[in-house]
Structure 1
Amino acid sequence: MKNTKFLVQGALIAAVYVVITLLFAPISYGPMQVRISEAMTVLPILTPAAIPGLFVGALIANLFSDAGLLDVVFGSLASLIAAYLTYLVPRSKLWLAPLPPVLVNVIIIPIVLYFAFDLPYWLMLSGVFTGQMIACYGLGYPLLLALTKLKK
């Protein structure tokens, strides 16, 4: 039963991530992006099922990326690393949950975008940082606080 719950939670997270990414496709992809679905990257602090869920969701969503195979491979790995690091954040420090996705994506994604779009690296870095802050802290942190209240 526990494995079934884990699998269903992970699959739901993956599906919702893909749907939100595709619904907001005009701002989810490209050199300057705010991927609304990245708000979900706070979920591993609540359930370990979010780790594979976010990875699979990002993998599928990245199949639609203009950045091609680079984004599929490295963007998805960035999501996996960020999800695992978020899982390690102490539950007593919820405000830190959005930090791993911001930092990991700021390290990896500008390089992917630089090679995919041949635009200045620092422009890519500032764009990813801004988009991740909006998605993870602006949307993800309030989501986390709301889910934590619901859980209680």
Structure 2
Amino acid sequence: MNITDIKQDQVETQGREFLVFTLADQEYGIDILKVQEIRGYDSQAVTRIANVPSFVKGVTNLRGVIVPIVDLRMKFNMEHVEYNAQTVVVILNVRSRVVGVVVDGVSDVLILQPSQVSAPPQFGSAFSTEYLTGIGTVGDRMLILVDIERLMTSEEMSLVESAVA
């Protein structure tokens, strides 16, 4: 049995942990292993950059590391809201890169067993589900599980990389 088999066995018996965050009235989950930290949103600490996609709020200096900040509401084509005390930035480590995502709030960490996760729905070409890994259910709650690594390494995010570099 190799290390990959052992990790897969652990996932099947212990489940996977997801950080749960909200956008509008919907709950989303991302793999907790991608999360570095959670910080309050401070617009004063974000510097705008010209010629980046509109969902990129700018960059911030996090202990000497320049971190792009992405507004997930805008990335998911949701209506814009005023940021408040609940608005947070989730700092992620994605493929050796640090990126921040602005979300409405963070509620908790949940462990989902494989039996609690179903495949993402197919909407045809009208709605892209390429960044979704599935739908998680815990009691009456439904979580949209986001493949944050795929989302943050998409082609349009490479525009952010070139602007920051």
Does the TM-score normalized on the shorter chain lie above 0.5? no
TM-score by length of 1: 0.28
Higher radius of gyration, 1 or 2: 2
TM-score by length of 2: 0.27
More strand by share: 2
